[in-house]
Structure 1
Amino acid sequence: MMKKLSSIRYMFIRSHLYALFLTAITLLSILLSIYVLFAPQWLTALGIFIFILLYIVIAIVISVYAGFKSSGEFKERLDYLSVLITQFSNGNYNSRIYSKEEDEIARISNEMNELGKKLQDQVKSLQRMADEKSDLAKDAHKAAAIEERQRLARDLHDAVSQQLFAITMMSEAALKQFDRDTSIAKDQLKDVAETALKAQTEMRALLLHLRPIHLSGEPLPVGVRKLVDELQQKTALDFTLNIDEDMHVSDTTEEHVFRIIQEAMSNTLRHANATGLKLEMFTRSKELFLHISDNGSGFNVEADSRRKTSYGLKTMKERSEELGGTFTIRSIEGEGTYIDIRIPC
């Protein structure tokens, strides 16, 4: 009821009644002043009050009628504006409103029409930008795939291929030593076994990079545990996990963090010569904390000149910063490496 009384029609009626009240007070003041000052015979106190009373009754009826009637067109034009705004909010920017008058409401209508045109142009621009972004994303994906293949090819050539070549040479040398000195041949075969183990570890680390960068719809904790279970079956690393299972982060954050963990484990397998790896991941105060450490050989972070390790660390740092987080690495030669990542959820 109160909402209805605050509509535009009742605002018009109230304004007419307010004008009636002021007019009645003014007339009453004038008539009473004449009656007191001049006391004409034709003007009596009873006549004044009867006149004012009749005036108020008649004026109230006229005010209600005039207010209701005069507000009809005004309300209708405002309703048109309301409908136009609703159309805009629903995404229908083709709607327009036309007015023959040249008042303030007509000016607002014209401005709303201009706004609709601008919104329509902006939607077209956004769609065009989305198409361009999609094309750029496809090109970037192709370029990234080519770059990754080239990097893997370099890694295979620099590490695995050389190790396989060394295994071949040492095997041939061991075969020649069998008839001369079996002890030397035995030592050479031990070197062959060690080199083969290194090549196998290197290949597993490279294959780890070829895993999908997404989690296939699985939550991040589940994906990490599956990754660790797979590596435990194929490597001698001893994994220690402390993962918060009740984590709520965006899909983008999950994919980036999963890729960071992949990169960290790959670096540990390839360069750390570690026997154990510890991973902690939990959320506190709307932030995700990730700690990864190993007991490997470590390295000098400032003076590190190993290109492969530096590339992996750079990738992890870029992914962390892309999520608005921080990336910190500490490493001491002979004591292992420690990575701390903090990302807002």
Structure 2
Amino acid sequence: MRRHLLLVLVLAVTLPTMAVLIVSSFAMIHQEWAMEAVTRSYVEDLAENVASWLNLDTPMWGGDSFASLIKKLRVFSWGPSLPGWVAVVTADGKILMASPGVSNLAAIWDPRIPIGKAVEVRDRKGDRYTIAVYPLDGGNHLVIAAVAWRQLIGPMLRFGHIWPVLIVLMTLTSLIAVWAMWRWLILPLKKMVTEVDILAWGKELPEADDPQAVFELGRLRRALYRLAKTAIERDDLRNRYVHDVVSVQEEEKKRIARDIHDGPLQDITAMIQQMRLFNMNHHCPPKESRHLKLAEEAAQIAVRDLRELCDELSPPWLDLGLEHALTELADRLARHNGIEITVEVEEQLFMPSEVVLAFFRIFQEAVSNAVRHGKATEVHGDVSLIDSSTVSFEIRDNGKGFEPYKSYEELRIQGHRGLANIMERLTTLHGEFEVKSAPGKGAVLRCLVPIPKDNEENQEGRQPRSGRTK
């Protein structure tokens, strides 16, 4: 009911008005039919009665009796007791006697009018009359009774004609009101609802104003515009904050990698050299020489681990481009995790350094999640252009899958930072993130990132190329 409330309101305004119009129209039509029947009966009775009175006074055109004179005075001098008039005419229409008010007989008289039956006629002005004719004196004379509708039911008729006009005006007013409500209230409100449903909060702005809407809806739209603008500003502030945090993290990783490389790594390397020099210059017994060899091997393992740590904190392959960076990362992760990892990057796909770093970290995080949580044995990454302004990075695995979460902020609160970290990376690039997964069906992570304008001209003449390592 509430879902269709607007339609119900429109029908509640329109249907009663239409019902009143229809009922009033039928009532007026039936009233007019009844008045026509009454008027016909009246003039027929008037003509018949006068003819009967005059036929009683015989011979009426020679010597008139006293009773005949009285009747003539009452009917033809005073007129009928009700509106109308009566006249005695010859067969050719010449008036012999008439009651007061007979002034338009010539305009309505027609010899073809049937005898004994009332009919409606109109004069030259269009006025309506009901007229009845009865024979007198064997048909040599005629009694004509007539009534003008204007005299008989003039006020009632005029009001009756005005009433449908008033009903029509009321109906038109109601329809205009419904149309105005639909145009300036309902349609703008439906438009606003549709716009809010598809509005990407924090990214898009609704229309600031709607000139077709009523004042109150205009104020509501302006308030909605301010809220959307505030959401964009807040999202921009959050994006800048995340960007700064990620930048600080990367700088800190570079600093730590540099300190490890210039500090402990160099010290352990120097220690290895000292042990080798000592072993060369001093002939140690086999037992001491074996311990020295084991210490040198342990130091070399530490050097290797520290270099891997430095490479992970600050990958040196990033300067070689996206394809080389992801290929090298896939090779290292495949060897480290003992799984098959493939990566495919379109040739001559030039990406800015921040995009290369973001994709590198996203792929690193996605593989780690697929191995640790999904128990995947195969991971495939695919970087391709969707159009001239958007690049897609899709990562698939054959793990056990999961139910995608609606809010990755909850994952961060619960301590699961993998997908939340990926979203943070994409936030710094103004990208979009989509996850498709189901239990037992693996997972697909899709990242969409807009390409900066200055890189669009470098995306032509591409051929796919893949790297595969196990």
TM-score normalised according to structure 2 size: 0.37
TM-score normalised according to structure 1 size: 0.47
* Structure number with larger C-alpha Rg: 2
Higher share in helix: 1
Higher share in strand: 2
